[in-house]
Chain A
Amino acid sequence: MTMTAIPYADTEAPDVLVERQSRSGRVAMTLAVLGLIGLAVMPWWASTGTIRSVLELCCYIAVAQMWNLLAGYAGLVSVGQQAFMGAAGYALFVLAQTYGINPFVAIFLSLLVPAVLAVPIYFLLHRLDGPYFSIGTWVVAEVFRLTASNMPIVNSGAGMSLRVMKDFSSFERNVAMSLLCAFMLLVTLGGSYWLLRSRFGLALIAMRDNPIAAASQGVNVAKLRFLIYVAAAVGCGLAGSIYFMAQLRITPGSAFDPMWANVAIFIVMIGGIGSIEGVLIGSLIYFIADRWFGEYGATYFVVLGLMTLLVALYARTGIWGLVSKRWDAPWFPIRRKLVHRKL
């Protein structure tokens, strides 16, 4: 873009600075780094049971943040991200169990599967209008589930076990799980934060607020949506691989479980759509509620469903939306703020 031809008269450039970080942001960043280090060294302070619970929480956060990127910024409301979780999980099991590749290498190789699958799926589904796109993603997840149920290489409907994990000691596995948790949050949360603070972030936020206006400002909405879809597929794939590695078992029913869509939608809507803070708040609420009220089974899900409904009707910005209306102290500031240079 060359727009130098516009003659600005003798106006002086305003004496301002662009501020991109805030005190609350610096505090939160320090805590986040400490938290990640704490996650990575879990084997030295936590029991195996705790590590497994934390791993589950980390998977919720990762999947919810991917859904947040899709629905909150790109306007792509998917209810079928479990397709990519299951596909990557199955890829891990086939590579490690059937072909004998080191499972911790296989986890990263398995990410190629969701990345490659996401491309044709996006080109098929992006033709569907708004709400129909959502059900389309669900159909794709169902196709994956039924295909896995009929595929001999993944042991059809009976599922697979990751028996190679017994070659590693319990401590080695704990170290790997902890490092993978830290890595997963670094990639999904850290990656999203980096993305939102970059030039792409400006485009994404413009797109979130109004896709047509964003396009008129030169944002390539179609391309950005495609890239976000592929990135979210890989992010969900990573969560799926790690989750099923910890589970040691995968079946078509568990791999492509629509429950993940419920969880992601609940977390993001309750916590606050379009913000990283909302995902963290929502994940914690869901995790604690699941521990406390999970035993009530169906009643618990009725309440969960009704809460999602009420948030959609009356408080679309979720908890973080209400909080940030009251206090302006973002944990992950992504705004560019102009401040007067102190003289």
Chain B
Amino acid sequence: MQWFDALVQGILLGGMYAQYALGMALMFGVMRIVNISHGDLVILLSLVGISMASAWGWGPLPVLIALVPLAVLMGWVLQKTVLNKVVGSDPLPSLIATFGLSVALQNLMLQIWSANSRSLPGGGIESQSIEIGGIYIGLLPVIVLIVATALTWGLDIMLKRTRFGRALRAASADVEAAAMTGINPRAIYALATAVAVGILGFAAVFQALRSTVAPADGPAQLIYAFEAVIIGGMGSVWGAFIGSMVLGISQGIGFRIDPGFGVLAGHIVFLIVLATRPQGLFGRA
């Protein structure tokens, strides 16, 4: 029962990681770049959300409604001003640029919000739980998991069914061929990053609700997102979702074995997947 509980908690934790991983999978799938400041953007949005809540007395829902459009805008601006200049076959410029951005963002947040940990008051929602078969499950993690599933499903449908999704897939398969058919890759890229960072708007609210955030927390979130994407298999949206679940379960069981072992257990499972199935659980070899 104790292990079943760890499993359930792990799946719920996976819901949180999925919200980080979706954006990363999307950006890598389309542009072959990794945004090192991915985790720092989550933390920045969280802190902005917390400040909104305390300044205007907003609950979590108004903060979410305000934060997601802001995140979309941030993603679009990021792509227009920085990433469009470094997209290309050489991975170095995009890595260095976003690495510099990450260092700058972390320290800027440190100046504005100080090193203290903060969290978003949820009006009681963060402490409510529901009992299913003798296991108490927090209401908030269930909501996180439902939202993560909905986001994954929505992103998958968008990629498969919409005009924008087709353009995205075309640009990711072959940029030049896509450009010849009248697609403007830079515009597509800007929208893709806007969607990817927009999803981080959801992640930011839930992260601030379920635990505390501090300016230096970003790199850990980046690493979890990265591990989830690699475990699941690159470039697949549902792969990133399943990878998040595997990572969450590994950490959940690890934490149950020893509190000092939880994060390490996730890293070890990631390394095992890398050693035995480098294309990821759902990737095509």
Could you tell me which A residues sit within 8 Å of B by CB distance? Answer: 71, 75, 77, 79, 124-125, 127-132, 134-136, 138-139, 142-143, 146-147, 149-150, 258, 262, 265, 269, 273, 297-299, 301-313, 316
| Contact residues in B for A316 (Cβ distance below 8 Å) | 93
- By beta carbon, the residue of chain A nearest B110 is A298
A143-B111 contact in complex given A131-B28, A138-B223, A265-B99, C-beta closer than 8 Å: no
Asked if A308 contacts B105 (CB within 8 A), the reply is no
Asked if B34 contacts A150 (CB within 8 A), the reply is no
Could you tell me which B residues sit within 8 Å of A by CB distance? Answer: 28, 32-34, 36, 82, 85-86, 91-97, 99-108, 110-111, 219, 222-223, 226-227, 230, 234, 260-261, 263-264, 267-268, 270-271, 274-275, 278
What are 27 A-to-B residue pairs whose CB atoms are below 8 Å? A77-B91, A124-B274, A127-B278, A128-B278, A129-B91, A132-B234, A135-B34, A135-B36, A135-B222, A136-B274, A139-B226, A139-B227, A139-B270, A139-B271, A142-B267, A149-B260, A150-B261, A150-B264, A269-B96, A301-B104, A305-B104, A308-B96, A309-B82, A309-B97, A313-B82, A313-B85, A313-B86
- By beta carbon, the residue of chain B nearest A156 is B260
Q: A142-B263, A297-B107 are in contact. List 19 more A-B contacts (CB 8 A).
A: A128-B278, A130-B91, A130-B95, A131-B33, A131-B94, A134-B91, A142-B223, A149-B260, A265-B99, A299-B107, A301-B106, A304-B103, A305-B100, A305-B101, A305-B103, A305-B104, A305-B105, A312-B86, A313-B85
In the bound assembly, the distance between CA atoms of A297 and B110 in angstroms comes to 10
| Contact residues in B for A79 (Cβ distance below 8 Å) | 36, 99
In the bound assembly, the distance between CA atoms of A131 and B219 in angstroms comes to 15
A306-B95 contact in complex given A134-B34, A258-B219, A298-B107, C-beta closer than 8 Å: no
- By beta carbon, the residue of chain B nearest A125 is B274
| Contact residues in B for A265 (Cβ distance below 8 Å) | 96, 99-100
In the bound assembly, the distance between CA atoms of A147 and B268 in angstroms comes to 11
- By beta carbon, the residue of chain A nearest B104 is A305
| Contact residues in A for B267 (Cβ distance below 8 Å) | 139, 142-143, 146
| Contact residues in A for B34 (Cβ distance below 8 Å) | 131-132, 134-135
| Contact residues in A for B101 (Cβ distance below 8 Å) | 305, 309
Asked if A302 contacts B107 (CB within 8 A), the reply is yes
Asked if A306 contacts B104 (CB within 8 A), the reply is yes
CB distance from B256 to the nearest CB of A (A): 16
- By beta carbon, the residue of chain A nearest B112 is A298
- By beta carbon, the residue of chain A nearest B275 is A124
CB distance from B104 to the nearest CB of A (A): 3
| Contact residues in B for A127 (Cβ distance below 8 Å) | 274, 278
In the bound assembly, the distance between CA atoms of A139 and B267 in angstroms comes to 7
| Contact residues in A for B226 (Cβ distance below 8 Å) | 132, 135, 139
In the bound assembly, the distance between CA atoms of A190 and B275 in angstroms comes to 36
Asked if B278 contacts A77 (CB within 8 A), the reply is no
